[in-house]
């Protein structure tokens, strides 16, 4: 198991914010991850996947980080079921499904997330959410250090929410996905179509972490911010995207504080004008 001291997390968060942690650990398998989570339990360790839904608020973290990016990513196929470790990405998962002529994951192809993060957040779009294809999850319950499994129906999935989002003591290790047989070329075509739709609407030319806010009931965040004239609103190196106001982008040397300052300003203005509370979808660390 690799570990690096004074590790810069810039390439491990999608905002590409410069932030250093005291130690970064890269576990290769379940045994190593469980050791990291149960050994010296009093030393607080922060777990991140591939960094696609996080805001690093500090320039330096005395805490140690466990990074499931480029490791802990084994994927197995058993008939129409795919079993993936938490560090695997949705892109890897979708490509494995396609190569095995299995359909059901096309919509997730271009969603930037690890498997673990996708389950925690119930990642998805209007065309489908992770709960639609999930069978069960294997996780470490840190309240008693026991590895357990839970079926989809018991995870309490909601819009961008789940049991794992609410209970931080439960760490996802592995997930099972039930798919169906399909035509490889048709699957590939669908994947590329979903990707093209996202790239046309989203500011992929700048580092960003996707939608910043959860969609309020009966409202859309982008149009509200547009009405408030916040498109292009800038703090330091961070800016509300001119392509899609629901996104904040790093135009250069943005810090976590820059991003959080924009978030607060947007929340304040939306509350004042529309009497709506904007809830942050991204995880602030």
Cβ contact 130:108 at 8 Å: yes
Could you tell me which of 95, 104, 96 has the C-alpha nearest to residue 182?
104
Tokens coding 163:
């049991």
Q: Are strands 60-67 and 20-26 parallel, antiparallel or unpaired?
A: parallel
Going by C-alpha positions, the residue among 17, 29, 121 that lies closest to residue 61 is: 17
Residue 163, judged by CB atoms within 10 A of its CB (0-12, 13-18, 19+), counts as middle
For the chain, the distance separating the N- and C-terminal CA atoms, rounded to the nearest angstrom, is 24
Name the H helices within 149-242.
163-166, 184-201, 221-227
Tokens of 54: 């996080």
Q: Of 64, 73, 129, 281, which one is the catalytic site residue?
A: 281
19, 114, 211, 245: the catalytic one is 211
Q: Whose CA is closest to 211, among 277, 165, 263?
A: 263
Q: Which of 64, 94, 160, 241 is catalytic?
A: 160
Signed CA dihedral, 137, 111, 194, 228: sign only: positive
Which residue in this structure is represented by tokens 């005395």? 62
Is residue 160 flagged as an active site residue? yes
181 part of the active site: no
Give the burial class of 243: count Cβ atoms within 10 A of its Cβ; 0-12 exposed, 13-18 middle, 19 or more buried.
middle
Residues labelled catalytic: 160, 211, 281
């Amino acid at each position: 198991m690799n570990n690096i001291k004074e590790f810069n997390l810039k390439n491990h968060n999608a905002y590409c914010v410069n932030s250093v942690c005291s130690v970064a650990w890269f576990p290769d398998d379940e045994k190593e991850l469980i050791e990291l989570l149960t050994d010296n339990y009093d030393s607080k360790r922060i777990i991140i996947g591939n960094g696609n839904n996080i805001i690093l608020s500090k320039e330096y973290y005395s805490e140690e980080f466990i990074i499931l990016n480029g490791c802990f990513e084994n994927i197995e196929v058993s008939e129409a079921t795919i079993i993936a470790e938490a560090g695997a990405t949705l892109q890897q998962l979708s490509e494995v499904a396609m190569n095995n002529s299995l359909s059901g994951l096309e919509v997730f192809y271009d969603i930037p997330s690890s498997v673990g993060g996708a389950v925690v957040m119930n990642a998805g779009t209007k065309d489908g959410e992770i709960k639609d294809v999930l069978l069960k999850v294997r996780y470490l319950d840190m309240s008693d250090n026991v590895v357990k499994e839970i079926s989809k129906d018991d995870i309490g999935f909601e819009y961008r929410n789940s049991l794992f989002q609410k209970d931080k003591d439960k760490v996802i290790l592995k997930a099972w996905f039930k798919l169906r047989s399909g035509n490889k070329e048709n699957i590939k075509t669908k994947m590329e179509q979903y990707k093209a739709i996202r790239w046309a609407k989203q500011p992929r030319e700048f580092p960003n972490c996707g939608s910043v806010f959860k969609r309020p009931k009966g409202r859309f965040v982008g149009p509200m911010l547009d009405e408030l004239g916040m498109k292009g609103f800038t703090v330091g190196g961070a800016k509300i995207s001119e392509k899609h106001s629901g996104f904040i982008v790093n135009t250069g040397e943005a810090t976590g504080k820059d991003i959080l300052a924009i978030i607060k300003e947007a929340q304040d203005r939306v509350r004042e004008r529309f009497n709506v509370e904007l809830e942050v979808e991204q995880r602030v660390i």
